[in-house]
Structure 1
Amino acid sequence: MMARSLPCPIAMPDYLTAATLLDLARRADARAPGPCACTKTPLDGWQSQPLSLDESQLREIGTLLSEHDPEPTFAEYLPGKIDYWSADAPIAPRYFPYNRCGVWECTSCGRLYLRYTEGGGYFVDRRIRALRLALIEDVPL
């Protein structure tokens, strides 16, 4: 009689603190200082994931979704007149949507991207934004 194997659990990506995210962003900026040719769509602000981005080039390196926070906040951190779509909107890891993001690296150019899935009543939208060191703010809730 053959032993029956149990399904292998899916490994969760490592949780990244704001300090770790800052460190990763510093290293990525040092590796990839010039413009990116991996996508034709600028990804400085949130965008629906463009078809021009070859998803097979991306590998997940961590998550900002804490396993210890089963219900992360939907509060946004948008000081002043900045809006969600702005290329200058701060990246605040404890706030929405960052607290639901995976951190992904382009294996071609070394740049880092934030990705999450926005879900509404009748749609699902995979969104992506380039991780920019200068915009990361570790703001308490």
Structure 2
Amino acid sequence: MAEYLNAATLLELAQRAEQRDVAPCTCTKTPLDGWLSQPLSLDETQLKEVGTLAPDDDPEPTFSEYLPGKTGYWSADAPIAPRYFPYNRCTVWQCSLCSRLYLRYTEGGGYFVDRRIRALQSALIEDVPLPE
């Protein structure tokens, strides 16, 4: 099982990755600022899992979303709130070539499974508690 990353650890990891001198890479053929279905152009062999936002002690994390203002699920500027859906079901992956970080999870519907991916940006991480 992957190491659990709380919001503070996630922020630190994202800031460290952003400080690296990032060269152009094939993992960025498709902009991944907001959630997208994982593009076929993404070479999964260059990604390595570095952690999870799904706590071990929460067998059924919330489906509540944190989308303040006019942001939407697909918005590139939507906050990354680790306690809220879909982030509470995500794993964190790093490109082995350029060190960029990505959030990934699998969306399951009645007749489909969709693997989704989003670039991790430290400026968008918000540690928002769940309502009581």
Q: TM-score, normalised by structure 2?
A: 0.95
Query: 5+ residue gaps in structure 2?
Result: none
Report the 3-state secondary structure (helix = DSSP H, G, I; strand = E; otherwise coil) of the residue aligned with 1:23.
helix
Taking a change above 3 Å as real, the CA distance of residues 37 and 138 of structure 1, as seen in their structure-2 partners, is same
Identity %: 78
Query: 5+ residue gaps in structure 1?
Result: 1-11
| Structure 1 residue 32: Cα displacement | 4.3
Q: Size of the alignment, in residue pairs? A: 130
Q: 2:16 maps to what in 1? A: 27
Q: Which has the greater radius of gyration?
A: 1
State the alpha-carbon separation in 2 of the partners of residues 92 and 73 from structure 1.
Answer: 12
| Structure 1 residue 34: Cα displacement | 5.9
Q: Indicate the RMSD between aligned Cα atoms, in angstroms.
A: 1.1
Q: TM-score, normalised by structure 1?
A: 0.89
Q: 1:127 maps to what in 2? A: 116
State the alpha-carbon separation in 1 of the partners of residues 21 and 86 from structure 2.
Answer: 25
Taking a change above 3 Å as real, the CA distance of residues 76 and 64 of structure 1, as seen in their structure-2 partners, is same
Q: 1:5 maps to what in 2? A: none
- Return the match for 1:105 from 89, 94, 103: 94
Taking a change above 3 Å as real, the CA distance of residues 32 and 47 of structure 1, as seen in their structure-2 partners, is farther
State the alpha-carbon separation in 2 of the partners of residues 98 and 32 from structure 1.
Answer: 27
Report the 3-state secondary structure (helix = DSSP H, G, I; strand = E; otherwise coil) of the residue aligned with 1:38.
helix
